[in-house]
């Protein structure tokens, strides 16, 4: 078994190590600073003697360091392995924040954590109760900030399974074996965990709630931590400032102003639809019952009911402009001929067919008339 240097010192960024096995691109060392993927935390990445390690994972043989190219590496080779520290520290930050948030949900609202996931962008925490309201989420954010100011120590220790069971922690043991590692946040939390963590809550930085969703009868909450939270706050601030300028409103009044604008837009859309319906009705009223093809700039959806009502039974409407849509009212056999000859895309039933055309409108009209008059 390799020596797990990441447990001895989570802040150790590099170390000398020797290769004990090579299996394709999976390389095993006698010691490592690379944490393997586990418990929702992704595996570390970095380099060994200039060669890229793109992932780290557990296998039946130990900790596999996955190289993008392991050619030239051999058993007995010694060298220096170095972490991608920004990647590692970001996930130490996220993992420690997740422990703190989960402990606060449990302690303040009695909500246990069902599952967690740490991604490059966010931390997701799935809870075993109803969706927490805005006040609850605000309280969690405030409590995280308070814990950060208190600079609570984060540390770990190994106990026997029986000792841990007698601690009655908020989460059950999820590993086999008699030795169980417990991670402590002084004054806040203690939970079985095999991950690597920060040394203090003061390093967690900013934490903000992103959004929530319901899944498998539970609620999953998403959180931004550290740099991601700061970036989101600044983006939101800049967005509000830009909207404030565009709408000539104070930042605090932007939401009300946007809601008013949306109402105005909906009213305009309703007016436009009403006018389009009237235009379509006027065009239908002026059509000769014998006409076979009609081109219009009015959306064709406003013609369907009127054409049928006025008794048109063999007519092709061609939409002009960017829409390139068609509407045909007639029998199935006649539509099949039009579709095959004119390369129409679409279909329908009960004598009404619609879709899109690809050729130019002039050519479509010319060819359609040939088909409809049997030429």
pLDDT of amino acid 122: 95
Q: What is the pLDDT of residue 249?
A: 95
Where does the pLDDT of residue 176 fall: very low under 50, low under 70, confident under 90, or very high at 90 and above?
confident
pLDDT in tens, 186-239: 999 999 999 999 999 999 999 999 999 998 888 999 999 999 999 999 999 999
Q: What is the pLDDT of residue 346?
A: 94
pLDDT number for residue 374:
85
What whole-number distance in Å separates Cα of residue 14 and Cα of residue 104?
34
Query: What average pLDDT does range 14-29 have in this prediction?
Result: 97
- Is the pLDDT reported for residue 322 higher than 90? no
Q: Which of 33-42, 55-64, 71-80, 275-284 has the lowest mean pLDDT?
A: 33-42
What is the per-residue pLDDT for 332? 93
Specify the higher pLDDT residue, 39 or 119.
119
Quick check: 375 pLDDT over 80?
no
Find the helix packing angle between 85-109 and 134-150, rounded to 10°.
120
Does the pLDDT value for residue 39 go beyond 80? Answer: no
Per-residue pLDDT, 37: 92
pLDDT in tens, 281-318: 999 999 998 999 999 999 999 999 999 999 999 999 99
Return the number of other C-beta atoms located less than 10 Å from residue 44's C-beta. 25
Q: Long-range pairs for 353-358 at CB < 8 Å and ≥24 separation?
A: 353/327, 353/328, 353/329, 354/300, 354/304, 354/325, 354/326, 354/327, 354/328, 355/325, 355/326, 356/324, 356/325, 356/326, 357/318, 357/324, 357/325, 357/326, 358/324
User: Does the structure show a pLDDT above 80 at 105?
Assistant: yes
Distance (Å, whole) CA 132 – CA 126: 11
What is the rounded CA–CA span in Å between residue 57 and residue 44?
9
Helix (H) and strand (E) counts in the chain: 9, 20
B/e letters for 203-214, b = 16+ CB within 10 Å, e = fewer, are: bbbbbbbeebee
The residue length of the chain stands at: 375
Q: What is the pLDDT of residue 216?
A: 81
Mean pLDDT of 341-362: 93
pLDDT class for 131, splitting at 50, 70, 90? confident
Residues 179-201: tens digit of each pLDDT: 999 999 999 999 999 999 999 99
81: pLDDT confidence band, cut at 50, 70 and 90? very high
Q: What is the pLDDT of residues 241-253, one digit of tens each?
A: 999 999 999 999 9
Mean of the per-residue pLDDT values for the chain? 94
In the prediction, which pLDDT does 8 show? 95
If you average pLDDT over residues 356-374, what whole number do you get?
A: 93
């Amino acid at each position: 078994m390799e020596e797990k240097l990441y447990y001895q010192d989570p802040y150790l960024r590099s170390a000398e190590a020797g290769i004990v096995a090579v299996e394709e691109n999976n390389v095993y060392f006698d010691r490592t600073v690379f944490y393997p993927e586990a418990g929702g935390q992704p595996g570390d990445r970095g380099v060994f003697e200039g060669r890229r390690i793109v992932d780290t994972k557990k296998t039946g043989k130990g900790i596999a360091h996955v190289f993008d190219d392991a050619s030239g590496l051999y058993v007995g080779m010694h060298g220096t392995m170095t972490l991608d520290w920004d990647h590692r520290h970001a996930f130490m930050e996220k993992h420690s924040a997740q422990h703190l948030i989960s402990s606060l949900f449990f302690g303040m609202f009695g909500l246990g954590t069902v599952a967690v996931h740490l991604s490059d962008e966010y931390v997701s925490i799935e809870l075993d109760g109803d969706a927490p309201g805005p006040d609850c989420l605000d309280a969690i954010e405030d409590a995280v900030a308070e814990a950060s100011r208190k600079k609570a120590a984060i540390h770990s220790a190994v106990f026997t399974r029986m000792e841990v069971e007698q601690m009655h922690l908020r989460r059950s043991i999820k590993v086999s074996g008699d030795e169980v590692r417990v991670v402590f946040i002084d004054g806040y939390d203690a939970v079985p965990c095999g991950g690597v963590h920060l040394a203090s809550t003061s390093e967690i930085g900013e934490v903000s709630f992103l959004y929530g969703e319901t899944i498998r009868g539970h609620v999953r909450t998403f959180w931004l931590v550290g740099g991601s939270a700061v970036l989101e706050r600044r983006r939101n601030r800049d967005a509000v400032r830009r909207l404030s300028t565009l709408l000539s409103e104070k930042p605090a009044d932007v939401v009300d102003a946007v809601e008013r604008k949306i109402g105005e837009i909906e009213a305009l859309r309703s007016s436009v639809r009403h006018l389009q319906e009237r235009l379509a009705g006027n065009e239908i009223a002026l059509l000769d019952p014998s006409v076979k093809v009609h081109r219009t700039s009015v959306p064709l959806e406003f013609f369907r009911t009127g054409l049928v009502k006025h008794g048109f039974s063999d007519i092709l409407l061609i939409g002009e402009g960017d829409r390139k849509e068609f509407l045909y009212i007639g029998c199935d056999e006649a539509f099949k001929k039009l579709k095959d000859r004119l390369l129409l895309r679409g279909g329908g039933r009960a004598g009404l067919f619609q879709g899109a055309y690809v050729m130019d409108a002039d050519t479509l009209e010319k060819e359609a008339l040939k088909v409809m008059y049997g030429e």
